[in-house]
Amino acid sequence: MSIHDFWTPFSLYPFLNALFIGISLASIFFIAALGLTIIYGAMGVINMAHGEFIMLGAYTTYVFQQFLGVPFLLCLPLAFIVLALIGWIIERGIIRTLYQRPLDTLLATWGLSLILIQGIRLIFGGQPKYVSVPKFLDFQIEANFVHLSGVRLFIILFAIVIGAVTWFLMYKTTLGVRVRAVMQDKEMAAAFGIDANKIYSITFAYGAGLAGMAGALFAAAKTVFPDMGSGYIVEAFLVVVVGGVGLVGSMFSSGILGELSSIFSYFTNGTFARFILFTLIVVFLRFRPQGLITEGATRR
């Protein structure tokens, strides 16, 4: 056994390919984390069931496609709507009761995630399901160092679009202004007649809807199974925690995480790469003060 079992030597084309895959990964992290970022940014809520919202989006797509013959592209907005509805209900039912208790919210949403995973498993069984890729996406790009499937390309493009749409909503609409007002100062916003509770419901629903769409996309790229959400949750959290709460921050952190993930995976095998990445993040976070210092910000 030598070092080569853990470490692949460097060669240009495969490395460049890895960089490119990094972009694909970054786009996946970005879309997966966007909903979580918005929810956390607006409400300070860490939703441990976020991965399950993604999973539910995937299953929604599966059901619509398999049983109702709905074309894939239409499943995207449908997944958004279904999850937005579910998100709305969850926010009013559970999240609302736990506003001043972030740790308890984390735990309650974990319990929720358990319920969702098992519920889906009971209904659909544990076997993986497949969502068929629409014809127009069924291609592969093979040029020089780039090996990319049509679906992944679509995801990258979608990430850009959804990022732009969200930016527009947040910064160019009155609703967006209201959300940002509540994010900054709930009481002040209330003084201006903004109903914070309503904003929270809408924001949570939007974040859930985004997760649903992410799930629909990922369903086409990979298989659909009850635990699939858990694969995204840690990375999604890290995107939020590293990038901070802003849209631009998420972009950068998903970019960095995606690239680093891919590069480490290139040099060493997948799971060990995860270890290096996570440890680096933990070390990095220790030195980055923003968003980590949760006390001392209280008005005294």
Partner 1 sequence: MAILELKEVTKTYNDFSVVKGFNLSVSKGELRCLIGPNGAGKTTSLDLITGRQKLTSGTVHFDGKNITKLLEREIAVLGVGRKFQVPAVFKELTVRENFEVSYTERIGPFQNMNPFTKKHSRKHFNEIIELAALGDRLDTVAGLLSHGETQWLEIGMVLMQKPRLLLLDEPTSGMTEQETEKTSEIFKELKGEHTLVVVEHDMSFVRSIADVISVMHQGNMLAEGALSEIEQHPKVKEVYLGTEGIN
Partner 2 sequence: MDGNLYHNRKAQWAAYILIFVLLALVPFIFDNPFTLNQFSRYIIFSLTAVSVSLVWGHGGILSLGQGIAFGMGAYGMGATMQMQFQDPVNDPIPTFMLTNELEKLPLVWEPFWSTPIGLSLAIGVPTLFFFIFGYMMFQARVAGVFVAIMTLAMLAAWYSVVYDMQPFTAGFNGISPPSPFEIFGTQIDPYSSTAYWVCVAFLVILTLGTKFLLHTKFGLIVQAMRDDPERARFLGYNVAYYQTVLFTLSGFIAACAGILWVMVTQYVSPTSMEIMLSISMVIWAAVGGRTSLLGAIIGAFLINLGQSYAGDEFQKHWLIMLGVVFVIVVLFLPKGLTGLFESILGKFSGNNKGAKQKA
| CA–CA distances in Å: residue 107 to residues 46, 98, 110 | 9, 10, 5
The residue written with tokens 């209201």 in the block is 178
Structure-derived torsion over alpha carbons of residues 290, 296, 297, 300, reported in degrees to the nearest 10: -170
Single-letter residue type at 55? M
Residue 103: contacted member of partner 1, partner 2, none (CB under 5 to 8 Å, by partner type): partner 2
In the complex, least distance from residue 231 CB atom to partner 1, rounded to whole angstroms: 39
Q: Which of partner 1, partner 2, none does residue 117 bind (CB under 5 to 8 Å by kind)? A: partner 2
Judged by CB under 8 A, the residue of 9, 69, 193, 296 near partner 1 is 296
The nearest distance, CB 6 to partner 2, in angstroms, is: 9
Q: Residue 179 touches which of partner 2, partner 1, none (CB < 5 to 8 A by kind)?
A: none
Question: Could you tell me the smallest distance in angstroms from the CB atom of residue 47 to partner 2?
Answer: 11
Q: Return the H-helix or E-strand segment holding 149.
A: strand 146-149
- Pattern 237-276, partner 1, x by CB under 8 A: ----------------------------------------
What residues make contact with partner 2 under the rule CB under 8 A?
Answer: 1, 46, 94, 97-98, 102-104, 106-108, 110-115, 117-119, 121-122, 230, 234, 237-238, 241, 269-272, 274-275, 277-279, 281-283, 285-287, 289, 291-296, 298, 300
Contact criterion met (CB below 8 Å) for 70 and 9: no
Q: Which is nearer to partner 1, 176 or 291 (CB)?
A: 291
Picked from partner 1, partner 2, none, the partner binding residue 299 (CB below 5 to 8 A depending on kind) is partner 1
What is the C-alpha R_g of the chain? 20
C-alpha pair distances (Å), 41 with each of 47, 59, 179, 204, 282: 12, 27, 10, 11, 21
Residue 286 interacting with partner 1 (CB under 8 A):
no
Site for partner 1 in 59-88 (CB under 8 A): none
Report the alpha-carbon distance of residue 95 to residue 16 in Å, rounded. Answer: 44
Burial status of residue 86 (CB atoms within 10 A of its CB: 0-12, 13-18, 19 or more) = buried
How far is the C-alpha of 93 from the C-alpha of 105, rounded, in Å?
Answer: 12
CA–CA distance, 176 with 55 (Å, rounded to integer)? 27
The number of residues that bind partner 1 (CB under 8 A) is 4
The one-letter amino acid code at 163 reads G
Examine residue 193 and tell whether it contacts partner 1 (CB under 8 A).
Answer: no
Residue number, 126 or 128, with CB nearest to partner 2: 126
- State the sign of the Cα–Cα–Cα–Cα dihedral 219, 222, 227, 229: negative
Hey, CA dihedral for 255, 246, 84, 171, is it positive or negative?
A: negative
Q: Which of the stretches 23-31, 84-92, 244-252, 291-299 binds partner 1 when contact is defined by CB under 8 A? A: 291-299
Q: State which residue, 55 or 213, has the beta carbon closest to partner 2.
A: 55
Cα gap 263→242, rounded to integer Å: 18
Nearer to partner 1, 271 or 298 (CB): 298
The nearer residue to partner 1, 4 or 299, going by C-beta atoms, is: 299
Instruction: Report the interface residues with partner 1, using CB under 8 A.
Output: 296, 298-300
